[in-house]
Amino acid sequence: MTTKADIAPSSPVTESRDQLVQSFARGEKPADRWRIGTEHEKFVYRTADHRAPSYDEPSGIRDLLGDLERYGWRPVEETSAHGTNVIALSGADGSVSLEPAGQFELSGAPLETLHQTCQETGRHLEQVKAAGERLGLGFLGLGMWPDKTRAELPVMPKGRYDIMRRHMPRVGTMGLDMMLRTCTIQVNLDYASEADMVKKFRVGLALQPLATALFAASPFTEGKPNGMLSYRSHIWSDTDPQRTGMLPFVFEDGFGYERYADYALDVPMYFVYRDGRYIDAAGLSFRDFLKGELSVLPGEKPTLDDWTDHLSTAFPEVRLKTFLEMRGADGGPWNRICALPALWVGLLYDSQALDAAWDLVKDWSLEDRQALRDQVPRLALDAPLPGGGRLRDIAGQVLDIAHAGLAARARLDASGSDETGFLDPLREIVRRGTVPAEVMLDRYHGVWGGDVSRLYDEASF
């Protein structure tokens, strides 16, 4: 059984800021070592009554984790104020973890091809569905709980979530919604150099609203339309302004590892992990920590593990660690889980595709990018495009660029097919002209007769 405390601590930060900056450089890899890491979350519900199960109840989240051990997953424990609990699983396909209200996440292994990514996704979904059948649980692929209030949702026994739940209401009105009521798909991708990271970061950030639009699947709150197509994306607009957003400095001359490190240093802390427990450091400064002046750990300086933990508490639309995370998409069904990495691998992992994508967005101003991001949660593909027109006007072009990038990779499966077919669900959305949320709304106002519970039949895995 693995616990975080069993892992040998990393070395202390002895060179102050420069050592933190170098942590990003250690992520550099030649193109033949670039990998694809896909993360996807799903809501867990009881099939009998659609209730979200708690951790401790019979056939609840703890039992779900335990049932999956039959597939070779190893339990990961954490000791907190709630006692010692299994809060994750580790295995060949990466890790399974819990979001704050029991949203079930696979953080996939770093893989070479999209074929492997979709196979991994399939294995995971088959395992959880089989476990769900044994336990009376189902799994919903959406961006937000369509019918649950915050009060109806359980809280998982993880120490860092206790700290976040206390802190979120101090800095925004919707942070608890982000924690408890949303699900996402994201993909983690590599870079070869600082310059390569910068270009990928800029393209990813500028085109993140398109991903949000194509994957928009959260139009309901507490059983009614909420006026948005991606309410999950809207939630980020008032979660915590110091750790979210479009990061305008990424497009400034001179952006690189140092500038991102300075940004992360200015993001207020959440916690420090010591001796098997989370110490509440919410709102405190990592810069003070570097100087040994953190009030909750006086005289102690951070380790590189502390820096890694801290980087995970910033939530911009694209996030830098030792890889880049594309974070703009709502949760969705199996084929869209495979489609998101296909979009970004196609755009970012081929140099010609990356250049073509940059040509599309390089003239957009800070105001243009922010306006597009602000409009997309409500309008999706109808959001106004910088320079005129609508986002839908470039959606097909972006998919063509991604298609060309995937074709150039020429990664074939056993039947000789390349990776371009994984874009098909997105091409269908563009061809149809309506995003997933709009299809749901049409059905809500039509054949569902205003009954949002029909989603449990139509959006479950």
140-198 per-position pLDDT tens digit: 999 999 999 999 999 999 999 999 999 999 999 999 999 999 999 999 999 999 999 99
User: In the chain, what are the domain boundaries?
Assistant: 2-458
pLDDT given at position 2: 42
Mean of the pLDDT values across residues 33-53?
Answer: 98
Q: What are phi and psi of 80, to 5 degrees?
A: -145, -170
pLDDT surpassing 80 at residue 9: no
pLDDT at 16: 79
Query: Could you tell me the pLDDT band of residue 306, with boundaries at 50, 70 and 90?
Result: very high
The per-residue pLDDT for range 428-459, each reduced to its tens digit, is 999 999 999 999 999 999 999 999 999 999 99
* 323 vs 15, more confident: 323
What are the pLDDT digits (tens) for 326-375?
999 999 999 999 999 999 999 999 999 999 999 999 999 999 999 999 99
Q: State the maximum Cα–Cα separation within the chain, in Å, rounded to a whole number.
A: 64
Q: Counting Cβ atoms within 10 Å, is residue 416 exposed (0-12), middle (13-18) or buried (19+)?
A: exposed
pLDDT digits (tens, 9 = 90+) for 241-258: 999 999 999 999 999 999
According to the model, what pLDDT value does residue 320 have? 98
Share of the chain above pLDDT 90, in %: 94
The C-alpha atoms of residue 6 and residue 9 are separated, in whole angstroms, by 9
The pLDDT of residue 233? 98
CB 394 within 8 A of CB 382: no
Structure tokens belonging to residue 11: 């070395």
Residue owning tokens 């996704």:
121
pLDDT beyond 80 at 11: no
- Look at residue 210 and give its three-state secondary structure: helix
E-only strand ranges, 180-332: 184-189, 220-221, 224-225, 244-245, 271-274, 277-280, 315-316, 318-320, 324-330
For the record, the structure tokens of 217 come out as: 């699947």
Question: Under a CB-based contact definition with an 8 Å cutoff, are residues 243 and 314 in contact?
Answer: yes
Third-level CATH fold of 2-458 = Creatine Kinase; Chain A, domain 2 (3.30.590)
Q: What is the mean pLDDT of residues 283-307?
A: 96
Residue 5: what pLDDT? 41
Q: How far apart are CA 183 and CA 145, in angstroms?
A: 8
Q: How far apart are CA 381 and CA 378, in angstroms?
A: 9
Instruction: Record the tokens describing residue 392, joined without a space.
Output: 């839908």
Task: Provide DSSP, 76-121.
Answer: EEEEETTEEEEEEEEETTEEEEE-TT--EEEEPPPBS-HHHHHHHH
Q: Which pLDDT score, from 0 to 100, does residue 3 have?
A: 42
Angle at 373 between CA 368 and CA 379, to 5 degrees: 110
Instruction: Inform me whether the pLDDT recorded for 1 exceeds 50.
Output: no
Q: Which of 342, 209, 185, 191 is nearest to 260 (CA)?
A: 191
By CB atoms closer than 10 A (0-12, 13-18, 19+), residue 373 is buried
For the stretch 55-114, pLDDT in tens is 999 999 999 999 999 999 999 999 888 889 999 999 999 999 999 999 999 999 999 999
Please report, to the nearest 10 degrees, the dihedral formed by the alpha carbons of residues 333, 335, 336, 340 taken in order.
140
- The owner of tokens 């594309």 is 326
User: Is a pLDDT exceeding 50 seen at residue 6?
Assistant: no
Terminal C-alpha separation, the chain: 29
Asked if 87 and 100 count as a contact pair (C-beta separation under 8 A), the reply is: no
Average pLDDT over residues 206-225: 98
Running DSSP on this structure, what letter comes out for residue 51? P
